[in-house]
Chains A and B, each alone.
Chain A
Amino acid sequence: MFLFLVCLTLTGGCGGRVPLLQELAPLPPDAGCRVAVLPFVNRGDYPGGNELLYKVFTSELAGPGKFHLVNEADILKVYQQLAIFPTRMADENQMQVIASRLGVTLFIGGDILRMTERPSGNEVHTEMSVVIRLYEGKTGDILWETYHKRRGRDYKSVLHFGQINTVAGLAKQMVREIIDLWNKNGLTACGE
């Protein structure tokens, strides 16, 4: 019994925390039909962290059989036309224009609060905390807000195994957890 508990502790890791979801308004029925991921705002000090998270987020969201995403370059072009810096968040009025032009039913945007990668011997200590928000396409109103924070060593099982040593890997894992939580709470791709 004791051995079992020890094994459970070692293999379980410390990844008990889950993303925190706050549902401010119900999702419209067509929310998942055409999703636009807006450029994230980088409030951390990892250079290019917002672009890294954007790529990871879109790849996880638009995996096979998942959400239909609006082309990133099309979004950036409208940003340019509306004179919005790609490092800033669009306001409600601007979101309405983007939604009208690109047929967006749901916006995803957010802030990177912290993203760090600090080498330590053969390991790299990674940490990331993000706030991701869902906005209604037609109005730009905020619907859901999700806060998530993780460290790479939260996923450590035994020895060095399981630990996530890259911010890209940590971002991917965290994005999966966020999307899983969204799915559980009713955000699904159109037609599912």
Chain B
Amino acid sequence: MILSGVPAFSVHKAMPPERYNCLGRREPAAVLQEARSMRLGVRRRPPVTIMMNRFYILLCIFCLSAAMTVPAAAETVAVFPLLDLNKGRNGVNHELTDHIRHQTGLRGYRIVEPDEVMNFMVRHRIRILGALDSIYVNRAQKELEADFVLLGTVCQLKPEPNATVSVSLQLVRTSDNRIVWTDTATLYQSELWTLLAINDPESLGDLYDSFFERLYATFPVTPPAYMRGKDFVDIDRVLIRPAIVRSHDRIECRIGIKSTMDPESLPEFRITVHGETYPVVSDEDGHYLAAAWNAIEEEGRYDIGLQTVWADGTRDDLRLGSYRVDNTPPVIVMHAAAPVIDRYPTFNAFVALTFSMPEPEQLSRWEFHIYRLEDEQEQTLVVFQEGSGQLAQRMTWNGRTSTGLNAPEGDYLIRVIVWDMIGNPGSAEQRVALRRIPPQLDFAFELEEDLLRINVSNETPTPMNFWWMRIFEGNGRVLRVFEGEDFPVEVSIPLPGEGEENLLDLLIEARDAVGNITRRKLQDLFTIATQGEEDLEETEVQWLEDF
């Protein structure tokens, strides 16, 4: 029992190499010392009775048998709280952690006190469960005097009905960060059912005995051989600022180092980048190793390496990350989704703007300007908007200014400027035309003997999309229908004969290429034709045709 209390760590440090047996197991000094003192005790014993002789012999046999049955030196295990996936990424299961401690203890291991483990986690700000950085595994050896750490995860845990328990465990040797044993066991309630339903489990608690028997079935009762691990340097943090630069810009790299070695015996570090080596110095606070250099001329991505030069001259190279030299402004292409009239996209209410980048890259910010072109010289800013990050792939201008008013009809220049991560600007421009005025229809009537000629023309410059015209009799019957795509146009309708209904009405709808619509209704065409256009009656109604 005394042997199991020997701190494993001190044994590791005190024992010379020849104290390892052929199986790689440690032969604890205390065992040898005990045996030696026992032998000495036998030699120096005073004259005693036969009973005393028998007592010593029995005592020796007992001690030897105890030394053979108890693990050579009860190894110390630090059981860390189990991660409980049922409770999320940060869930913890203290109940099963206690079970694991107990079960591990039953197998001859000395368990580090839970409070010590918790203090260790708080001291090192260990926030994740179920896994432990190599550097902390190593520190568990030094600070908790643990030969092993036991990490676990509760994969599934469900109470009745259909009780389920599933746990994954990892036994990690602290001396060399090696997983020496791991297993995942799962037990479902029905797996323990018997044909006669005798002592069948009814709840989660009933599963535990069988479950732990299964989980620990291959758990090493004999401690795995001690292996001295190599000292190592762990990169805790890497900061490369800025990660994207222009040629000759200054780049700084800061590296947070954690090591299993004493600070004085740390190796020498150097930064290697594009074939050159830069010295690394400790920063003002002493938290980081820092190096700085100027970016080279050529554009491209360059790896940043850390070279570790050990005392014996050997070198290790590893990659920290990379930086990019970017002198090329971003290329952006803008397209206005509107019909092109007189060389420019033209719209009446909304214009959709789409943006694309032939070589996509990350943007830091963007600006959006819309200018009204009063004439060739004068531009008035009517819309300004800006944002950070990527520009949306599609934006819509609703024909309003930044103050919310409808922008007047005219020509506009839309300009978008984007900046990449290093600040190289790129821009695109698109001239558009805003046309709000609907077709202005002009009617001319000409009476002949038996015909009424109607000439319709459009006074606005915007080309037409289509028009249609219907002539109704007074009783509502459609007399004629005309359709076309452009103005001017002349149509003829026969005049009614004697005694016939002579009341004719006209309906016309004209839509230009950008969507402006004019609808007009003229009543009693004969009167209008004879008395003049002053009697034109215009009616703006929601026509039945719209439905």
Contact = CB atoms under 8 A, between A and B. Distances in A.
A74 interface: yes
Contacts of A48: 85-86, 88-89
Contacts of A96: 319
Tier of interface size on chain A: 35 or more
Contact of B182 (A59, A74, A81): A59
A56 B182 contact: no
Count class of interface residues, chain B: 35 or more
Interface in A140-192: 160, 165-169, 172
Contacts of B183: 59, 63
Interface string B317-352: 111111000000000000000000000000000000
A10 interface: no
A76 B126 CA distance: 13
B156 A168 contact: yes
Nearest to A80: B237
Interface of A: 48, 51-52, 55-56, 58-60, 62-64, 68-69, 71-74, 76-77, 81-82, 93, 96-97, 100-101, 119, 122-124, 160, 165-169, 172
B458 interface: no
B237 A56 contact: no
Interface in B172-204: 172, 177-184, 186, 188, 190-191, 193
B131 A81 contact: no
B178 A68 contact: yes
A168 B170 CA distance: 16
Interface in B392-413: none
Given A76-B131, A100-B318, 12 more contacts: A48-B85, A59-B168, A62-B170, A69-B179, A71-B131, A72-B130, A73-B134, A74-B133, A81-B237, A122-B162, A122-B190, A169-B186
B381 interface: no
B162 A73 contact: no
Contacts of B218: 64
Contacts, number: 110
Nearest to B91: A48
B184 A168 contact: yes
Nearest to B153: A55
A28 B397 CA distance: 57
Contact of B164 (A52, A166, A172): A166
Interface of B: 85-86, 88-89, 128, 130-134, 136-137, 153, 155-156, 161-162, 164, 166, 168-170, 172, 177-184, 186, 188, 190-191, 193, 218, 234-238, 305, 317-322
Given A73-B131, A122-B162, A62 B182 contact: yes
B301 to A, nearest CB: 8
Contacts of B322: 93, 97
Contacts of B156: 52, 166-168
Nearest to B128: A73
B135 to A, nearest CB: 9
A97 B319 contact: yes
A97 B321 contact: yes
B236 A168 contact: no
B319 A100 contact: yes
Contacts of B236: 77
A96 B304 CA distance: 12
B133 A73 contact: yes
A60 B168 CA distance: 10
B258 to A, nearest CB: 10
A52 B156 CA distance: 8
12 contacts: A59-B169, A59-B182, A59-B183, A62-B182, A71-B137, A74-B134, A81-B321, A100-B319, A123-B190, A124-B164, A166-B164, A168-B155
A98 to B, nearest CB: 9
Given A48-B88, A55-B153, A101 B164 contact: no
Contacts of A123: 190
A52 B85 contact: yes
Contacts of A167: 156
Nearest to A57: B184
B238 A81 contact: yes
Contacts of A76: 128, 131
B85 A101 contact: no
Contacts of B191: 165
B308 to A, nearest CB: 12
Contacts of B321: 81-82, 97
Task: Identify which of A56, A63, A73, A165 gathers the most chain B CB atoms within 10 Å of its CB.
Answer: A73
A160 B190 contact: yes
